[in-house]
Amino acid sequence: MADTDLAPSVHGDASLSSPIKNSKEDMQPVADKIAELNESQSELLGRLRGLKEDLQNWRVKLDTQVKTYKDELSDLKKALGSEMEQITLDFQELRTTLQKQQNDVAASLMDLGMSTEPEKEENKIIKEAPVVKTEYVEDS
């Protein structure tokens, strides 16, 4: 009886160690797959960090370009406004000079005894010509 009692317990020990051994063998492919997934995850996280950095750099570069273009546009608007003011002043001065010359010609003709009717009409047209004033408002 002792021999029979001993035999089942040896069989019992062998059957217990076999599932543990099989379990370890089954776990190896799972562990390999987990390691592979962890490596893949690390690579993807690295790529994601790189893309985020690239995007941030792109945004900074774009913001810098936009600011530069806005500053240039503002400077151009100021320069255009100044040039328009100067042109307006030049035209007013020219108009005044032309009126003075017309008046001088009319006075000379009167001294010579000639009629100045046509000149008076032209003078009237020049005096009535509107002066166009333009103002530029800078956008903020």
Question: Could you count the other beta carbons within 10 Å of the beta carbon of residue 132?
Answer: 7
Query: Which whole number is the average pLDDT over 8-15?
Result: 49
Residue 12 belongs to some domain of the structure: no
The dihedral sign for the CA sequence 103, 109, 111, 117: negative
Residue 45 belongs to some domain of the structure: yes
Beta strands (DSSP E) in 51-134 are: none
Helices (H), 113-135: 117-128
Which range of residues forms the domain containing residue 35?
26-128
Residue 134 belongs to some domain of the structure: no
Query: Which whole number is the average pLDDT over 42-46?
Result: 97
pTM of the complete model beyond 0.85: no
Residue 1 has what pLDDT?
A: 47
Q: For the range 116-124, what are the long-range contacts, defined as Cβ-Cβ under 8 Å and sequence gap of 24 or more?
A: 123/99
Residue 18 has what pLDDT?
A: 55
What is the tally of structural domains in the chain?
Answer: 1
Residue 95 belongs to some domain of the structure: yes
